[in-house]
Chains A and B, each alone.
Chain A
């Protein structure tokens, strides 16, 4: 664990992490350069034009209107920003947020956030999510899965444990039972608020097997800072194996009717 988190950006573990990091690094290099050049100029001015006996201040040439020499550095900043917008931000943003991948081949799961847990809902072998109903919600059935629905029989619901395969994108449908939460995996460079009443799609393709962390990034109540989950990224083979082992047996599922016992 120690190696993937440190004082800098965490390890890059998704296909678009590199694109996000490129921007972060580029902008920080530019900011650093601008600030250093600027600071040198600033200190020079303070020393050069400090008050000295018998040296009066020299006025700039008379000048009116809204254009002045100060707009020249502005122009440079503006060109840099225009380049960032059109060659970086808009193309990368539309790749990450614009197009959801097709299912299949993409993997498909649901994430249902609540105070203060992450419920991960896998459709199981049939690839279909079971119907959920609010009045069936119970601590043994946190999503209110309706087990009379055949599609629900093989569904897997896990709390605070998210398994993802490498090699293909996963399309995640984000919903919340109560308040706004935010789905945030630093190593994947992905963050998306989850708004109750909305189902928000999000895709991610992890490319580095390992164990990562899912945190809630939007204030969601008194235990907000304890709301986290473990993200386990597996190779396609390991993921398939895990899915098989996690699938409920039909017998077990049929007894789990959501009734209190």
Chain B
């Protein structure tokens, strides 16, 4: 470990650009990831025009698009597929994961365990820059010859092998995976080795647990995908045949391959990562929600041990459920039964966590602060996302619902109204810690209600579309007779998506305005118990002026015989007795 704490870095570049301080790196991640989320959102807003009004030119921006991608301003199938693949890739690998892990985890994990920094500060810096390079490469692929990838974020071969644009996507993925692996090892070592005296594992805040489990998932699930991505790259540029079975005839032309490959191999390797990845998207936001709920109910979380055990079992189980994405893939029908059972088992700890969070409200004294509104909204929204997973996880009903809009509705309820809502709440909650100022409350409440209503109008119609049998990844939903009656729902969904963008503007304004002009905040504005609130806002280089001593669990709210209704983890019992 390099001791970077002896003296703070000098100069702007070293302090704010190539910083090794986990807090600066976290803020770099935070801003970059929110920008990527916005870009991914812009992509879907363009796609939603094609879904609502297929075959008509996009107003305003249509004329600026190159003629080969959008002739006369009408989105072509190829361009739609590129936007679709990049929307998924950006949202998952460049948006939500870097935000939940790179930004929130990086900032809060060392603070919450009382550490001066991450265990490997240079590795931490490297992880951000590799992530940024991967992200820029992905975005840059739009202007490179061949264009952006157009085989979906899942990149199933042989389509991904014959489609243009995929090579850059694969290089980008290798960079992003490398970045995640560097981050994951750092998180694990930091959590296990750098905890302050007295911070037993079972005294760690739930958020730290969620980051620890997510880091293990990244560490164990990403290497297979990195290998798989390199194999796909070899299939494309070295004409190996890992995923190509034999000669293909593509649009009447022979596509030569040495043969022996199996397209389903990619699906197994991809989902072996991508299912645990779902929990990487979900666990840190769940941790954020747990922190906010404990703080705003002014009582300890219900069933801390249950939540920890559930997170650990979700982590373990998430490695043996992957093939529930493949019930109709051509995989053995008998094998499906195994994955059906494991999928139902993994729902048990998820329900347990959700129930604990709801039971935590019981007996509380609930403050409806802006972050709390987001945290509370997470509960029913994630509930809908989880419940609608049930008919997808059951083999028989999945025959019908697989690859329909029902799937889109399901995972967007989990990741958008679940994870992103929680990450927004987390932004409001920890903003005073990051910048020493508060975000505007009235704008925050407006942002919350607008976002919640718009998101539901975007995603709920998708369940109805899916039940009516509409497929995902169609740029023209009116091409199929069975999709015609439900077309008005696409219009509703699109209009709501564009409104959703408008209600994000106050958030963006509020964020940047409050960094410099927000109301000044004290060290611990929410009267919270965990260690990050025990240091100044923003924390100085090295975080704590002296190493904190931890005396108790993370959520000692409303203890008996105390004038205040919170007892920080580091409050010395001897001085309390004296008082």
> Taking beta carbons and an 8 Å cutoff, which residues of A are in contact with B?
1-2, 4-10, 19-20, 23-24, 27-28, 31, 34-35, 38-39, 41-42, 45-46, 49-52, 55-60, 63-71, 73-74, 77-78, 81-82, 84-85, 88-90, 92-94, 96-98, 114-115, 134, 137-139, 177-180, 182, 184, 186-187, 189-198, 200, 213, 215-226, 228
- Shortest CB-to-CB span from A183 to chain B, Å, is 9
Q: Contacts of A74 on B, CB cut-off 8 Å?
A: 348, 351-352, 355
Q: Are A196 and B399 in contact (CB under 8 A)?
A: no
Distance in angstroms between the alpha carbons of A63 and B379 in the assembled complex:
24
Q: Are A10 and B468 in contact (CB under 8 A)?
A: yes
Q: Are B400 and A20 in contact (CB under 8 A)?
A: yes
Q: Which of A85, A177, A215 contacts B248 (CB 8 A)?
A: A177
Distance in angstroms between the alpha carbons of A28 and B467 in the assembled complex:
11
Q: Are A57 and B298 in contact (CB under 8 A)?
A: yes
Q: Are A179 and B159 in contact (CB under 8 A)?
A: yes
Cβ of B66 within 8 Å of any chain A Cβ, yes or no, is no
- Shortest CB-to-CB span from A220 to chain B, Å, is 6
Q: Are B77 and A225 in contact (CB under 8 A)?
A: yes
Q: Contacts of B363 on A, CB cut-off 8 Å?
A: 49, 57-60
Distance in angstroms between the alpha carbons of A65 and B355 in the assembled complex:
16
Question: Which residues of chain B from 295 to 354 have a CB within 8 Å of any chain A CB?
Answer: 297-300, 302-303, 305-306, 308-309, 328-330, 333-334, 336-337, 340-341, 344, 347-348, 351-352
Q: Contacts of B558 on A, CB cut-off 8 Å?
A: 56-59
Count of A-B contacts with CB under 8 A?
A: 301
Q: Are A219 and B397 in contact (CB under 8 A)?
A: no
Cβ of B464 within 8 Å of any chain A Cβ, yes or no, is yes
Q: Are B358 and A42 in contact (CB under 8 A)?
A: yes
Distance in angstroms between the alpha carbons of A134 and B351 in the assembled complex:
52
Cβ of B239 within 8 Å of any chain A Cβ, yes or no, is no
Distance in angstroms between the alpha carbons of A222 and B356 in the assembled complex:
46
- Shortest CB-to-CB span from B341 to chain A, Å, is 6
Closest A residue to B248 by beta carbon equals: A178
Cβ of B471 within 8 Å of any chain A Cβ, yes or no, is yes
Q: Are A81 and B347 in contact (CB under 8 A)?
A: yes
- Shortest CB-to-CB span from A54 to chain B, Å, is 10
Q: Are B329 and A193 in contact (CB under 8 A)?
A: yes
Question: Which residues of chain B from 455 to 511 have a CB within 8 Å of any chain A CB?
Answer: 464, 467-469, 471, 473-477, 479-486
Q: Are A78 and B348 in contact (CB under 8 A)?
A: yes
Once A49-B362, A179-B159, A222-B76 are accepted as A-B contacts, the answer to whether A35 and B384 lie under 8 Å apart by CB is yes
Q: Are B341 and A115 in contact (CB under 8 A)?
A: no
- Shortest CB-to-CB span from A175 to chain B, Å, is 11
Q: Are B249 and A137 in contact (CB under 8 A)?
A: yes
Cβ of B63 within 8 Å of any chain A Cβ, yes or no, is no
Q: Contacts of B467 on A, CB cut-off 8 Å?
A: 8-9, 24
Cβ of B150 within 8 Å of any chain A Cβ, yes or no, is yes
Which of A77, A84, A225 has most B Cβ within 10 Å? A225
Which listed segment binds A: B24-32, B127-135, B250-258?
B250-258
Q: Contacts of B261 on A, CB cut-off 8 Å?
A: 197
Q: Are A31 and B565 in contact (CB under 8 A)?
A: no
Distance in angstroms between the alpha carbons of A41 and B387 in the assembled complex:
17
Distance in angstroms between the alpha carbons of A178 and B363 in the assembled complex:
61
Cβ of B231 within 8 Å of any chain A Cβ, yes or no, is no
Q: Are B248 and A31 in contact (CB under 8 A)?
A: no
Q: Are A226 and B336 in contact (CB under 8 A)?
A: no
Q: Are A221 and B485 in contact (CB under 8 A)?
A: no
Once A56-B565, A222-B150 are accepted as A-B contacts, the answer to whether A197 and B263 lie under 8 Å apart by CB is yes
A–B Cβ pairs within 8 angstroms, 17 of them? A35-B380, A42-B379, A51-B366, A57-B363, A58-B558, A71-B355, A89-B337, A93-B336, A114-B249, A114-B251, A179-B248, A186-B482, A191-B402, A213-B480, A217-B402, A220-B159, A228-B480
- Shortest CB-to-CB span from B163 to chain A, Å, is 7
Distance in angstroms between the alpha carbons of A197 and B250 in the assembled complex:
14
- A5-B468, A10-B482, A56-B298 known, 14 other contacts, Cβ within 8 Å: A5-B482, A9-B469, A35-B384, A35-B387, A74-B355, A81-B347, A92-B396, A93-B396, A114-B249, A134-B254, A191-B402, A196-B245, A217-B471, A222-B76
Q: Which of A6, A23, A221 contacts B163 (CB 8 A)?
A: A221
Q: Are B78 and A70 in contact (CB under 8 A)?
A: no
Cβ of B403 within 8 Å of any chain A Cβ, yes or no, is yes
Q: Are A56 and B365 in contact (CB under 8 A)?
A: yes
Q: Contacts of A89 on B, CB cut-off 8 Å?
A: 337, 340, 394-396
The 7 closest A-B pairs by CB, nearest first: A197-B245, A186-B469, A68-B303, A225-B474, A97-B333, A70-B355, A222-B77
> What band does the interface of chain B fall in when counting residues whose beta carbon is under 8 Å from A?
35 or more
Once A35-B383, A52-B365 are accepted as A-B contacts, the answer to whether A93 and B468 lie under 8 Å apart by CB is no
Q: Which of B341, B397, B483 contacts A23 (CB 8 A)?
A: B397
Cβ of B52 within 8 Å of any chain A Cβ, yes or no, is no
Once A7-B486, A23-B394, A74-B351 are accepted as A-B contacts, the answer to whether A219 and B473 lie under 8 Å apart by CB is yes
- Shortest CB-to-CB span from A59 to chain B, Å, is 5
Once A58-B363, A222-B78 are accepted as A-B contacts, the answer to whether A5 and B481 lie under 8 Å apart by CB is yes
- Shortest CB-to-CB span from B399 to chain A, Å, is 5
Distance in angstroms between the alpha carbons of A24 and B245 in the assembled complex:
36
Cβ of B557 within 8 Å of any chain A Cβ, yes or no, is yes
Q: Are B251 and A178 in contact (CB under 8 A)?
A: yes
Q: Which of B159, B249, B359, B484 contacts A177 (CB 8 A)?
A: B249
Q: Are B480 and A73 in contact (CB under 8 A)?
A: no
Q: Are A178 and B356 in contact (CB under 8 A)?
A: no
Once A49-B363, A52-B365, A222-B81 are accepted as A-B contacts, the answer to whether A178 and B305 lie under 8 Å apart by CB is no
Q: Are A224 and B358 in contact (CB under 8 A)?
A: no
- Shortest CB-to-CB span from A53 to chain B, Å, is 10
Closest A residue to B404 by beta carbon equals: A217
Distance in angstroms between the alpha carbons of A23 and B482 in the assembled complex:
21
Question: Which residues of chain B from 386 to 400 have a CB within 8 Å of any chain A CB?
Answer: 387-388, 390-391, 394-397, 399-400
Q: Are B299 and A218 in contact (CB under 8 A)?
A: no
Q: Are A213 and B482 in contact (CB under 8 A)?
A: yes
Q: Are B158 and A215 in contact (CB under 8 A)?
A: no
Q: Are A197 and B246 in contact (CB under 8 A)?
A: yes
Q: Are A197 and B262 in contact (CB under 8 A)?
A: yes
Q: Are B162 and A178 in contact (CB under 8 A)?
A: yes
Q: Which of B330, B337, B391 contacts A198 (CB 8 A)?
A: B330
Which of B152, B297, B403 has most A Cβ within 10 Å? B403
Q: Which of A34, A180, A184, A189 contacts B159 (CB 8 A)?
A: A180
- Shortest CB-to-CB span from B356 to chain A, Å, is 5
Q: Contacts of B347 on A, CB cut-off 8 Å?
A: 77, 81
Which of A84, A93, A178, A219 has most B Cβ within 10 Å? A219
Q: Which of A34, A70, A97, A198 contacts B306 (CB 8 A)?
A: A70
Q: Are A189 and B400 in contact (CB under 8 A)?
A: yes
Once A178-B248, A195-B329 are accepted as A-B contacts, the answer to whether A20 and B484 lie under 8 Å apart by CB is no
Q: Contacts of B351 on A, CB cut-off 8 Å?
A: 73-74, 77
Q: Which of A51, A189, A192, A225 contacts B365 (CB 8 A)?
A: A51
Which of B151, B255, B297, B397 has most A Cβ within 10 Å? B397
